Amino acid sequence: MTANNAFTAKSFDFFEGLAANNDRDWFNDNKDAFTTQLEDPFIHLLETLSNRLADAPRALSGGKATVFRMNRDVRFSADKQPYKTNLSGLLTPSGSKKEASGIVYVHLDATGGFAAAGYYNFSPAQLGPIRDAMVEKADRFDDVMAHLGKAGRDLDRTDSLTAMPKGFAEQSEHRHAAEIRLKSLIVREPLPKAAWLTGDVIDRVEALARDAMPLLTFAGPAQ
């Protein structure tokens, strides 16, 4: 990242200030700092990654249009704080946030952040075809898992069903049963503060995306 689009200690200071003063007056008074210290560098990060991943088996792109708004939807929440204390965005095949296929998510907060690649927060109906493919194309999914393992990665297994999902009870002994039970199919990359401050975040997210390509291309868009 160029000097004008670099994350600095002030980027993290903004999140700490927002956590202590989560109201519209403080945010509006510090809007310029948010733009220069966080929003502009984050957009630049996504655009740089888009250029780097243009030649990937599944090109991914992002930028201003794939950055999530800082405003929280407080209509049905007991927590009425108006702003998120993180900044996040996507790299997707379409370059938009309305994507029902494998994507890369990038998250920045006061402690650093993380990136994740794969299929996240899909409904059971959306996950159904992917789970079907794990059964019907079991050898190909073996290859996906082998590729991840060779890269030193594995699926995040923290969010799993205790029993087989509806329609898959007969696959309880299948060699991919543990993966079929997962609610999301993602691999993660931690992004500590140092990665953002040195610019290493770009290389780390690109490496995650490339390592996850067999997973990202395993299934088509969800219906």
Q: Which domains does the chain have, with CATH numbers?
A: 3-216 (3.30.930)
How far is the C-alpha of 125 from the C-alpha of 115, rounded, in Å?
25
The average pLDDT across 87-95 equals 96
Angle at 121 between CA 119 and CA 125, to 5 degrees: 85
Q: Tell me the three state secondary structure of residue 24.
A: helix
Nearest to 212 by CA among 60, 100, 24, 89: 60
For residues 46, 51, 56, 61, the Cα torsion angle rounded to the nearest 10 degrees is: 40
**So what's the pLDDT on residue 1?**
52
Angle at 63 between CA 73 and CA 221, to 5 degrees: 80
Give the list of residues 6+ apart from residue 180 with CB closer than 8 angstroms, or none. Answer: 131, 134, 135, 164, 165, 168, 171, 174
pLDDT band per the 50, 70, 90 thresholds, residue 2 = very low
Mean pLDDT, the chain, whole residue set: 93
**So what's the pLDDT on residue 69?**
95
How far is the C-alpha of 119 from the C-alpha of 68, rounded, in Å?
18
The average pLDDT across 27-41 equals 97
Specify the range with the lowest mean pLDDT, choosing from 14-18, 111-115, 117-121, 170-174: 117-121
User: pTM for this one?
Assistant: 0.93
How far is the C-alpha of 204 from the C-alpha of 31, rounded, in Å?
29
What percent of the chain stands above pLDDT 90? 87
How far is the C-alpha of 63 from the C-alpha of 50, rounded, in Å?
8
Q: Note the pLDDT tens digit of each residue in 194-206.
A: 999 999 999 999 9
